[in-house]
């Protein structure tokens, strides 16, 4: 059997052994066993992760923002019900992680059939709320050191998470913010609008490689109204050492170089 995800006239093909699980609720959730990428979560026809490369994505989503903060204690995750991001966050030893996931079925399915959280979702410091992320930040009056948005491609359920109002609410309650910001190559309109709507005083885009996402090149946006986004390599190296973090993709050197954007990516953002 073959799984295909299409993006405007091109796409991804993965051979699959079988469909392990499927549930149609507010989103269509599927879990496949693939031939060469391990288990794979697909939501509404789009690959969310494969076991083989999910660490590339989750590490680059989480570590840059957690590393620029000298002591991230309270962290909010919007989306991320599979627990991959939470697993990486716990490597920084925070005091509390709040996960706000709109679709309970994602958590249930991933816990039962995949387990990339490796127990992180059951950690006593982690609390999960099944509610709308936008409503949560809008009415939230506590402060977070870091907010991490791990959403799906903009669709009727998730597009509010790329709106100006959403980013403004986040800016009000956190020091540092990060969101995945789609493929600059095949989703340049989404990528651009995320960049425009995120009106943080300081902001920057960085890139990473995720083979199972549209053509492999993925982007992230980091922002802060109150703090600097760029930290010296020496400081990053010290922190990385001190925190004793083990990774397969992220290193302090990768962190610094990820912010170097190809000319065409800069052009997409400025036009
Ligand atoms: N969220 C971002 C996945 C986007 C992939 N897009 C696509 N395949 N068209 C990933 C959630 C993993 N925690």
Per-residue pLDDT of the chain (271 residues; tens, 9 = 90+): 999 999 989 999 999 999 999 999 999 999 999 999 999 999 999 999 999 999 999 999 999 999 999 999 999 999 999 999 999 999 999 999 999 999 999 999 999 999 999 999 999 999 999 999 999 999 999 999 999 999 999 998 899 999 999 999 999 999 999 999 999 999 999 999 999 999 999 999 999 999 999 999 999 999 999 999 999 999 999 999 999 999 999 999 999 999 999 999 999 999 8
User: Is the pTM above the cut of 0.95?
Assistant: yes
- Give me the phi and psi of 91, to 5 degrees please: -65, -20
CB 114 within 8 A of CB 52: no
Distance CA(66)–CA(146), nearest Å, equals 7
- Ligand 1 center to 242 CA (angstroms): 31
Query: And the tokens for 163?
Result: 């709106």
> Closest Cα partner for 141 from 76, 81, 94?
76
The CATH code of domain 54-270 reads 3.40.50.150
The tokens describing 268, both together, are 């997409």
Give the 3-state secondary structure of residue 102: coil
**Is any ligand 1 atom within 6 A of the Cβ of residue 152?**
yes
* Per-residue exposure over 12-50, b if at least 16 CB sit within 10 Å of its own CB, e if not: bebebeeebbeeeeebebbbbebeebbbbbbbbebbbbb
Catalytic-role residue among 82, 117, 150, 153:
150
150 given a catalytic annotation: yes
Question: Is the CB of 208 inside a 6 Å radius of any atom of ligand 1?
Answer: no
**DSSP secondary structure letter of residue 100:** E
2-50: CATH topology is Spermidine Synthase; Chain: A, domain 2 (2.30.140)
Domains in the chain: boundaries: 2-50, 54-270
């Amino acid at each position: 059997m073959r799984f295909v995800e299409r993006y405007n006239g091109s796409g991804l093909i993965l051979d699959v052994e079988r469909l392990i699980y499927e549930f149609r609720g507010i989103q269509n959730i599927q879990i496949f066993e693939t031939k060469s990428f391990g288990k794979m979560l697909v939501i509404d026809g789009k690959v969310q992760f494969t076991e083989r490369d999910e660490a590339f994505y989750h590490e680059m989503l989480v570590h840059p923002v957690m590393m620029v903060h000298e002591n991230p204690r309270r962290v909010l995750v919007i989306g991320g019900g599979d627990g991959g991001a939470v697993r990486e966050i716990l490597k920084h030893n925070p005091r509390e992680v709040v996960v706000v996931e709109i679709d309970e079925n994602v958590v249930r399915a991933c816990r039962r059939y995949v387990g990339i959280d490796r127990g992180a979702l059951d950690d006593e410091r982690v609390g999960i709320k099944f509610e709308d992320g936008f409503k949560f930040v809008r009415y939230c009056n506590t402060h977070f050191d870091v907010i991490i948005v791990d959403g799906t491609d903009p669709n009727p359920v998730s597009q509010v998470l790329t709106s100006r109002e959403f980013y403004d609410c986040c800016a009000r309650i956190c020091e540092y913010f990060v969101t995945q910001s789609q493929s600059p190559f095949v989703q340049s309109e989404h990528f651009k609008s995320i960049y425009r709507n995120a009106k943080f005083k300081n902001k920057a885009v960085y890139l990473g490689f995720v083979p199972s996402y549209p053509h492999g090149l993925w982007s992230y946006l980091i922002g802060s109204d109150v703090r600097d986004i760029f930290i010296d390599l020496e400081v990053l190296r010290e922190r990385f050492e001190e925190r004793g973090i083990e990774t397969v993709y992220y290193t302090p050197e990768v962190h610094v170089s990820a912010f170097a954007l190809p000319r065409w990516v800069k052009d997409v953002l400025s036009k």
